[in-house]
Amino acid sequence: MSASHRIVGALLAALLVAACTPTPAGSPSPDGGGSKGFAVTKSNEEWRKTLGPEQYRVLREKGTERAFTGKYWNNHEKGTYACAGCGQELFSSDTKYESGTGWPSFFRPIAPEAIGTEDDSSLFMTRTEVHCARCGGHLGHVFPDGPPPTGLRYCLNSAALDFKKP
């Protein structure tokens, strides 16, 4: 009886320890933890405090907002789209076009060095992921079916962007 009590006690202690540990040992951080040398790096907890839930899901967990639900897919105002994570300017309204997809779409970033890309083979597709070069925040994907002059379609999430009028 005392032996079984000890086992139950040990199990309870293990559960309590596990519950109090923010990141279980051995489970990789979902976003790579900002270890790729970006100029702006924060812990997931810090990002959670500064971003809204949808912004966090898109920027830090590479989520995708539902089509036609974001605040910018149908925005036709002149201005600049900056990263919602760190404020770096990413895209200009001059390169925004109507793609019909329900996501804000651009044919060119404001500067080549403003963004970074990475192969993404999730969801049984090979796509090219686009992120902010300054903080690594996930923005969306780029596809080779855009209009001239680049032929590219930067398909972005409104939640990752912060629109500023000139």
The stretch near Zn ion (CB under 5 A) out of 93-101, 119-127, 131-139, 147-155 is: 131-139
Reply yes or no on whether 132 is catalytic. no
Q: Answer yes or no whether residue 134 interacts with Zn ion by CB under 5 A.
A: yes
Residue 133 or 155: the one with the smaller Cβ distance to Zn ion is 133
The most distant pair of C-alpha atoms in the chain lies apart, rounded to whole Å, by: 78
Residues 71-90 that bind Zn ion (CB under 5 A): 83, 85-86, 88
From first CA to last CA, the distance across the chain in angstroms is: 75
**155 and 90 Cβ atoms separated by less than 8 Å:** no
Residue 102 or 116: the one with the smaller Cβ distance to Zn ion is 116
86, 132, 135, 155: the active-site residue:
155
Residue 132 CB, nearest approach to Zn ion (Å)? 3
C-alpha atoms less than 13 angstroms from C-alpha of 51 in its C-beta half-sphere? 26
Sequence-distant (≥ 6) Cβ neighbours of residue 16 within 8 angstroms = none
